[in-house]
């Protein structure tokens, strides 16, 4: 029998601007799954906590039914705002807020993007009311009627600048951004994966050339891929946001060259995994293709790839793990995952 807790699922990959104090990040995660009585918030689980010391950024994968996701994420955001002070933050990854990003992703055909957009807008409104001084901007389906993508909205807000001028930012909700809390992006979209490929160099200019060629907007770029090149652990990381594309509009890119594929161990024509959102089929670039393309581009300068890291899960993996966690009543799934037979 399939548990009703595994239906109408929504994921939030909550991005917070802290990773060097892991105990603090755990408190944020625990707030998402803890009810007002201190017990487990039924129907809610945290699948994964990803910390990056150099970036000083963590990604917390929270999953719940659409009926429970708002309160779970709000509780985590309140905890993060109480613990993280942006006036003392440092890290190589761009950021604007203590809670930097709150994306809601539908995990199946039972929930659509409009449902997640309504929850995102309500969530942002409640956050600015509960935590005085917080402010937010919308992206994706929550940004009505324009539906501007996250990359465009971040550019408009100055997210990519090394020292953004917060006094010039106009939030969609809340007061002008304050130094302590900064600015939070809240939105809804098809699931976005994070795939990071390390290349064996300290040459950031080379990394930026690789990133530019990989980006969706470039000729020959990979559809759905938004990318930055960042210094990371003494090398350069090609950090990719992998957006899902509606299958009806999908045009596959040419495969990587045979030489790059041979060096990366990837298939010459990897399939694009697909998933269902409200009856519409979406697909996303596989990590193997991104790795092969980075290997091809960096290899032109004699630089090899050193490894690939998927932050969290694919959308299909995320749904499967969430159904399992909820059917077993496991809120702190990030602690129990290795003990649970898949």
Token output for 233? 């652990």
pLDDT on residue 337: 80
Domains and CATH numbers, the chain: 4-190+315-334 (3.30.990.10), 192-311 (3.30.70)
**Who wins on pLDDT, 281 or 263?**
281
What mean pLDDT do residues 65-92 have?
96
Model pTM score? 0.92
What mean pLDDT do residues 4-17 have?
86
Least confident of 3-12, 209-218, 317-326, 332-341: 3-12
Instruction: Report pLDDT digits (tens) over 161-219.
Output: 878 877 788 999 999 999 999 999 999 999 999 999 999 999 999 999 999 999 999 99
What mean pLDDT do residues 314-324 have?
95
Tell me: pLDDT of 136 over 60: yes
Task: Tell me how far apart the alpha carbons of residues 298 and 292 are, in angstroms, rounded to a whole number.
Answer: 10
């Amino acid at each position: 029998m399939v548990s009703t807790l595994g239906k109408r699922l929504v994921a939030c990959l909550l991005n917070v601007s802290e990773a060097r104090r892991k105990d603090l990040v755990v408190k944020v995660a625990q707030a998402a799954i803890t009810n007002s009585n201190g017990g487990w918030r039924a129907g809610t689980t945290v699948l994964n906590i990803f910390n990056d010391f150099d970036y000083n950024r963590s990604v917390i994968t929270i999953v719940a039914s659409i009926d429970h996701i708002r309160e779970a994420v709000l509780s985590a955001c309140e905890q993060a705002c109480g613990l993280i002070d942006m006036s003392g933050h440092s890290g190589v990854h761009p950021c604007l807020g203590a809670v930097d990003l709150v994306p809601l992703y539908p995990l199946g055909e039972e929930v659509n993007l409009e449902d997640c957009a309504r929850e995102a807008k309500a969530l942002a409104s409640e956050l600015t009311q509960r935590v005085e001084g917080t402010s937010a901007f919308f992206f994706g389906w929550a940004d009505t009627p324009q539906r501007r993508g996250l990359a465009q909205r971040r550019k408009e807000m100055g997210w990519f600048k090394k020292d953004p001028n917060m006094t010039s930012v106009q939030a969609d909700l809340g007061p002008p951004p304050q130094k302590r809390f900064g600015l939070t992006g809240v939105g809804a979209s098809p699931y976005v994966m994070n795939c990071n490929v390390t290349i064996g160099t300290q040459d950031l200019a080379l990394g930026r050339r690789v990133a530019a060629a990989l980006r969706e907007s470039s000729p020959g770029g990979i559809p759905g891929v938004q990318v930055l090149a960042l210094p990371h652990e003494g090398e350069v990381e090609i950090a990719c946001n992998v957006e899902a594309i509606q299958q009806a509009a999908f045009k596959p890119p040419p495969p990587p060259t045979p030489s790059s594929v041979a060096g990366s161990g990837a298939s010459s024509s990897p399939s694009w995994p697909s998933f269902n959102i409200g009856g519409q089929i979406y697909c996303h670039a596989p990590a193997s293709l991104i790795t092969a393309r980075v290997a091809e581009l960096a290899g032109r300068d004699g630089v090899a790839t050193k490894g690939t890291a998927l932050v969290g899960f694919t959308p299909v993996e995320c749904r499967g793990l969430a159904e399992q966690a909820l059917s077993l009543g496991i809120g702190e799934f990030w602690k129990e995952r290795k003990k649970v037979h898949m």
